[in-house]
Structure 1
Amino acid sequence: MDPREAAGAPARELRLAVVVLVAASGAAEPLSFLALDHVFAGVMTSNLALLGMAIGRSRSADVTAAVLALAGFGVGAGVVALVTRGRKGTLDRWPPRVLLCLAGEALLLAVGATLWAAWGGAPGQTARHALQCGLAAAMGAQAGAMVSAGRAAAPTTYLTGTLATYIVHGLSSASARPDGWIPLRLGALIAGAAVATAVLKTAPAWAGIVPCVLVVAAVLIAGTPFLTPRATGEAPSAEP
């Protein structure tokens, strides 16, 4: 067994990959909320509330936006669930199919970024709806991949529970030291959103590339353990 797994902590590379994925989800939200349909790409709790408000105000356009985001997220997560069914990760490696799903997310984001650039960062209403659904699907795939990755992963598209856990554990337990990676994730979310917003303001046609580049970087980081033999000297097993 890898000594890091024996210690009960995920590999450093995987923790770093999670941080980068959080930054990617942060970068997706300004595109979704500021430039598309004023809903969130990855925070479905907020979208459910926005849907309720839209229904209460009888605003059909806002209802459509929220439904598209919810549907896209659900499709993305559902596809990942089918692809990764029965695959379990370890504390030092994510399953190859999880990496494959993240690579698929990057491809979907790349297609969206290309279309976004082709429209000069100002797509029409129908195009906005399509991009909104696709961006939400990408975030759903990312969220589903992190669930399938198991104990070596963490939520990357919603951090409310992460923040609450960090506060409660930090204040209620004098002996347990809070996870130092959590502040990095929270900071990455802010940084990703800030960078994407700045690019959206200064070079809107290129804003779509920011989350795509970050997801690609996370896949490369998470794939690093596959290039290093296990501590036992066993070769990585092939996955059908």
Structure 2
Amino acid sequence: MAARQGPADGGTERDGEPGRALRVAVVVLVAASGAVEAISFTALDHVFAGVMTSNLALLGMAIGRSSGAGVTAALLALAGFGAGATVVAWVTHGRKGVPAYWPPRVLLCLAGEVALLAVGAGVWAASGGAPGAVARDALQCGAALAMGAQAAAMVAAGRAAAPTTYLTGTLATYIVRGVGRASARPDRWVPARFGALIAGAAAALALRRAAPAWAGTLPLVLVMAAVLTACGPLLARRSATGGRTGT
């Protein structure tokens, strides 16, 4: 099928797939996730903010070695992620994503994530990049809350989005389609997501080393950039339809 170019999709839309703007927004969100995970694991009691499979394993290991701090950190991350995902699921309930744009309620939830990350960046900066035990617990739970919200928002966006906080399934699917099915064509944007995850984590640690107090601003800036990029297709669609789009 020939590609279709239009003002509503922010790029080329082929066979009902999202346009370039939304794909770029997903890549930037993955970079933000990489930055959050790097800071979370290296500075917030060695747990992840968005990879709950790993946190469940870490919880089991903490229980096995009778580490109260490890159990607390894992439980805070799990609780935060679950709370973030639950809130977004409630806000976006019954809304179906379309390939051309992210629904307004999805963008609203991502704006909420921006607010959470802004608070976290402020707390991190106030501590000079070295938060105490109580602040670490609050930051861990807040980071997981933000990642849970982001993950659920991408689910609500449907085919217009892709996983941004965990890429194990994405990697397996990419390998199967590229190797196991000769007739299938792997998504060329998938390697960009892998690269963004690595780049986000590397940049966060480089910034933490060079300017510790400012490390928390990187995920904030990246998510803001992703939201602004994703707003383009929605605004174009609203302009083309006289302001009539779903919420």
TM-score, with length taken from structure 1: 0.95
Q: Distance in 2 between matches of 1:112 and 1:238?
A: 33
Q: 1:239 to 1:152 in 2, by over 3 A?
A: closer
Partner of 2:28: 20
Equivalent residues in 2 for 1:26-105 (5 A)? Answer: 26-105=34-113
Q: Distance in 2 between matches of 1:49 and 1:144?
A: 22
SS at match of 2:109: helix
Structure 2 CA distance for aligned equivalents of residues 156 and 238 of structure 1: 25
Contact 2:81 2:149 in 1 (8 A): yes
Report what 2:242 is aligned to: 235
Q: Which residue of 2 aligns with 1:120?
A: 128
Query: What is the RMSD computed on CA atoms of the aligned residues?
Result: 1.6
**1:26: how far off?**
0.2
Question: AA paired with 2:241?
Answer: E
In structure 1, the partner of 2:8 is none
Task: Give structure 1 regions of 4+ aligned residues with deviation exceeding 2 angstroms.
Answer: 2-6, 233-236
- Alignment pair present for 1:192 and 2:207: no
- Label 1:98 to 1:117 Cα distance change in 2 as closer, same or farther (>3 A): same
Structure 2 residue runs without a partner (length 5+): 5-11
Seq. identity, %: 71
Mapped partners of 1:235, 1:174: distance in 2: 44
Q: Distance in 1 between matches of 2:237 and 2:89?
A: 28
> 1:3-40: CA deviations, max 9, x gaps?
46662211111111100000000000111011111100
Pick the aligned partner of 1:209 from 199, 202, 217: 217
Q: What is the correspondence of 1:172-187 to structure 2 with a 5 Å cutoff?
A: 172-187=180-195
Is the aligned partner of 1:218 residue 2:237?
Answer: no
Q: Which runs of 5+ in 1 are unaligned?
A: none
CA distance in 1, matches of 2:189, 2:243: 27
TM-score (norm 2): 0.92
CA contact (8 A) 2:27 2:193 kept: yes
Q: Distance in 2 between matches of 1:237 and 1:230?
A: 6
Aligned to 1:10: 18
Check conservation: 2:103, 2:234, Cα contact below 8 A: no
Is it true that 1:166 corresponds to 2:193 in the alignment? no
Q: Distance in 2 between matches of 1:119 and 1:89?
A: 40
Show CA shifts across 1:144-201 (max 9, x none).
1001111111100000000010011100122222100000000000000000010111
Matched to 1:237, the amino acid is R
Aligned partners of 1:236 and 1:88: how far apart in 2?
18
How many residues are paired up?
Answer: 238
Q: Matched residue of 2:39: which SS? A: helix
Identify the residue that residue 154 of structure 1 maps to in structure 2: 162
Task: Letter of the 1:64 partner, please give it.
Answer: T
Q: Given residue 244 of structure 2, which amino acid in structure 1 is its aligned partner?
A: S
